[in-house]
Structures are given as structure tokens and as C-alpha cells.
Amino acid sequence: MGKRKKRAKLIRVALIFVGVLAIPLLAYVCLQSSVSKDLAEARRNLQEEGIALSPEDVIPPLVSDDENAALLYQKAFELFVYVKDGDEERAFRRMFRSGGRIEWSEEARELAVAMCERNADALDLVREAAEKKACRFPLDYAEGTDIELSHLGKMRNAARLLAAEALLQYDEGRIDEALRTCVIAMRTGRGLETEPFLISQLARIDSCLVALSAVRVILEQEMPGEEVCGMLLEEFAAAEGRQAYARSAEGQLVLFGAFAFDGLAEGSTTYSPTGQDDDSIRVRLYTNPLGRLVLQRDRAFYYGMMRKFITSARVPYFEARETLREIDETVEDWPKYMLISTMILTGPSKPHSRQALLEAVLREGRLALGLKLYKSRNGAYPETLAELRPDILKTTLSDPFTGGDFVYRRKGEGFILYSLGENGQDDGGIFYVKGSRLQYTDIAWRCER
């Protein structure tokens, strides 16, 4: 009898021990199943939206050397003598803060002359490159988040130099030539259209906005010939780049986000909480079972947010506004231990507003040219933008921030034309507050005559 009780007690102890071990194991298995299901659903949702999930779907095709503008741009970069000292560099950059109005003073003109003379040979190569139809820089896409993109800053520099050259030509009275140089600056930026990275598209946007800031200075005072007007209208229509921007969002998902998650899952990538390279402070977070669960959950969330981000990149900004606000709020509230998604998705709506800014300025440029052409044919500016159609402009151009019409008013001998901007409010055509970091309100295009 005593032996039977002793055996029963041992069995109870063993069962309790097995239960203690089994409960967390069962909980882990259930959690693993739930997280795997969420991740599979997130992938399925991406596929249903037609979103690329493999590098082969986003990496641009190869281009023959004869057709590749990038090879000429690289030769130009080798010839660039961009700065004489730090103060000169900062002064030149301030002249062409993208999207802003250029402060074209005598001091700025002297600096522009020095820059253009110093880089004359390089600019010849840039002009030659801009005439080519294809551009593909030799990037190592297998590097993922470590890819070298040093050419982006150099492309921006090329656009600034061309914009400076255009303004010098304008000062000399060579109006049509100056505007043709602005077109070359825009085409330089557009050479980045096929690169599947958001940062590349932001460089494209900045380069085009720099060129447009020079166009604005010229058109405020002058009327180009009809041939140049036609060229500008065609270029402005082609340069919006909404599809290129949307493709880059898919590239961001595959070549940056998915690459980072894959590397962490395999243990080949580490996360540094300080952002430094000292191995003594770099920690591997996701090589244990619990860490892998966190990583999968983080990845499912990232895929869900990127699905919304990419689908919103395919539509005009005013249609995506609420979705973007939702993304921002969700990412802000997401648990901070989900390190990767919160790190990658910082300020997700900002690139969308930059793309919309470019679209707004380009459409205003088309309208401004249409208004100039109307005046040259009729002796005065029209009372409304509707009078430009269909003889001068074939389509209605809407404000990408609101979906409605641009605001247009005749003003003295000229006019003011503006988008309501990101806040969607009519602030009377105020573009930015001077002395601030380009705090956009309305996005305005003014012509004095």
C-alpha cells in the first residue's frame, strides 16, 4: 500500500513537472502558429495588390554602354571641382534649396560664374548624358541596406550647376537657351527614375525642383518663344514620375526592408542600438526562438504598413491623405521593441508629400506657360484657367494636394497661381517663411508681367 502511494505521488510530481514544461511550450507553439499565419496573410495581401516580392521584379534591366547615360555622368563626376571651401559649398547649396525661390543676388551670380567656369568640362559631359534615353548606374543590388549610393549627391550637384548656368544665360538675355538648360537639369534628375529606392526618387525630385526654381525666376519676367514653350510643356508633363515613385516604394520593400529582415533571421545582420560599428556593443537579437517570433511579428506589421504605403503611392496625394495619416499614427503607437519596422518606417508620409510637391510645381509650370501663351495671342491674361482649354492646354490640371483647381488670380500686369499645399488651406499664396527651413504653406508661382 505504501509503495502504491509513493508511486502515485511520483506520478503526480512527474505530471506536474511535465505540465510546467508543456504549458510554455504549448503557448510558444500556439504563438508561433498565430504569428506564422499573420505573416503568411501579410504576404498574400501584398501579392493580391500586385506588389513585387522578389529582387528580380524591381531591379532595372541592364543597359548597353552606348545607350547608358550613367557612364557619362560618372566621367563628369570625376571632373567635378565642386567646392573651394566649406563656406562656398554652403552658400551655393542655399541658392538652390529644392522647391524654394532662388535668391539671385550679385554675390550669388559671382559664385555661380566661378562654379560654372570651374566645371565647364564636366557640364559638357552632363549635357551629353542628358540626351541619352536610358540611365543605369552600376549598383550592387545584392548589398541591400549597405548599397553604395554616392552618385545621388553628385546628380543633385549637377542639377544645381546647370540651374546656375541657366540663370547666367538668363542674365545675358539668352532666354530660350536658359530654359533649354533648365530642361537638361530636369533630365539629369530624371536619369534616376528607374532606380528602385525611395532615396533615389527623392534625389530625382530635388533635382527637378532645383531646375524648376530657375525656370520660375525666368518666367516671372520673360516670355519664351513658342517652340521652347512647347518643349517645356512636354517636359513638364513627362517629369511628374508618379509611376517611378510607386515602383521605388516596392523596391524599398524588397531591397531594403525584406533584405534587413532576412539578414536578421539568418543571423548575418546585426542591429546596433547606438548606430556605431563597434562589435562590443552590437547585439544579436533574433537568433533565439523568442527573438524569431518577435522578428516574424515585426515583419508582418512591416508588410502590412508597406502594403498601405505602396498602394497610396500609386494614387494622387489627396486620395492617399487619410491612409498616410493612419500609417503615421499606427507606426507612432507601434511597440518600440518592434525595432526594425519602427526604424525603417520613420516618417513614412514625408516622401509622398515631396512627390506631390513636384507634381504641383510641374503642373503650375504648365499652367504658367499656358497663361503666357494665352497673353501672347490675346494681349492679356485670361480671367479663369478654363479659358486655356482646349486651344492651349488639352487637359484639366488639378492640384495634387486637394484634387481641385489651382487658385489663379490676375495681379497687376501679371498673375499669381498656387496650390493649397499639404495643409489644404488657402493661405493667400504664401510659399514659405523666409529664414525658416522651407515651411511650405501654399505652393505659389508668380509672374509680374
Domain ranges of the chain: 58-239, 246-348
pLDDT given at position 284: 57
99: left (phi over 0), alpha (psi -120 to 50) or beta: left
pLDDT given at position 283: 43
Q: Which amino acid is at 293?
A: L
Among the listed ranges 112-116, 293-297, 410-414, which one has the minimum average pLDDT value?
A: 293-297
Among the listed ranges 166-170, 380-384, 391-395, which one has the minimum average pLDDT value?
A: 391-395
DSSP labels for 362-406?
HHHHHHHHHHHHHHHHHSS--SSGGGGTTTT-SS--B-TTTSSBP
Reported as type and span, the H/E element at residue 44 is helix 2-48
pTM above 0.85, yes or no: yes
Among the listed ranges 15-29, 50-64, 150-164, which one has the minimum average pLDDT value?
A: 15-29
pLDDT given at position 109: 84
Angle subtended at Cα 189 by Cα 183 and Cα 193, rounded to the nearest 5 degrees? 120
Please check whether residue 285 is in contact with residue 339, taking contact to mean a CB–CB distance below 8 angstroms: yes
Average predicted confidence (pLDDT) for the chain:
84
What is the C-alpha separation between 204 and 358, in angstroms, rounded? 10
In Å, how far from its chain's centre is CA 134?
20
pLDDT given at position 105: 75
What is the C-alpha separation between 287 and 285, in angstroms, rounded? 6
> Does the pLDDT value for residue 19 go beyond 60?
no
| 362 C-beta neighbours (distance < 10 Å), count | 24
DSSP 268: S
pLDDT given at position 280: 33
What is the C-alpha separation between 248 and 199, in angstroms, rounded? 9
> Helix, strand, or coil here: 272?
coil
pLDDT given at position 221: 82
In Å, how far from its chain's centre is CA 385?
30
> Does the pLDDT value for residue 241 go beyond 90?
yes
What is the C-alpha separation between 367 and 377, in angstroms, rounded? 15
* Mean pLDDT of the 131-147 span: 92
In Å, how far from its chain's centre is CA 371?
30
> Does the pLDDT value for residue 432 go beyond 80?
no
| 360 C-beta neighbours (distance < 10 Å), count | 29
Greatest C-alpha distance within the chain: 118
In Å, how far from its chain's centre is CA 271?
25
For residues 132, 138, 143, 149, the Cα torsion angle rounded to the nearest 10 degrees is -60
Among the listed ranges 230-234, 291-295, 354-358, which one has the minimum average pLDDT value?
A: 291-295
* Mean pLDDT of the 207-211 span: 94
Indicate the pairing of strand 407-411 with strand 414-419: antiparallel
| 269 C-beta neighbours (distance < 10 Å), count | 18
Helix, strand, coil percentages (3-state) for the chain, rounded to 5, are: 65, 5, 30
What is the C-alpha separation between 92 and 265, in angstroms, rounded? 45
Q: Which amino acid is at 345?
A: L
**CA atoms lying within 13 Å on the CB side of residue 117:** 7
> Does the pLDDT value for residue 389 go beyond 70?
yes
> Helix, strand, or coil here: 290?
helix
Please check whether residue 188 is in contact with residue 162, taking contact to mean a CB–CB distance below 8 angstroms: yes
pLDDT given at position 292: 78
pLDDT given at position 152: 96
> Helix, strand, or coil here: 446?
strand
DSSP labels for 79-134?
H----SSHHHHHHHHHHT-TTS-----HHHHHHHHHHHHHTHHHHHHHHHHHTSSB
pLDDT given at position 279: 39
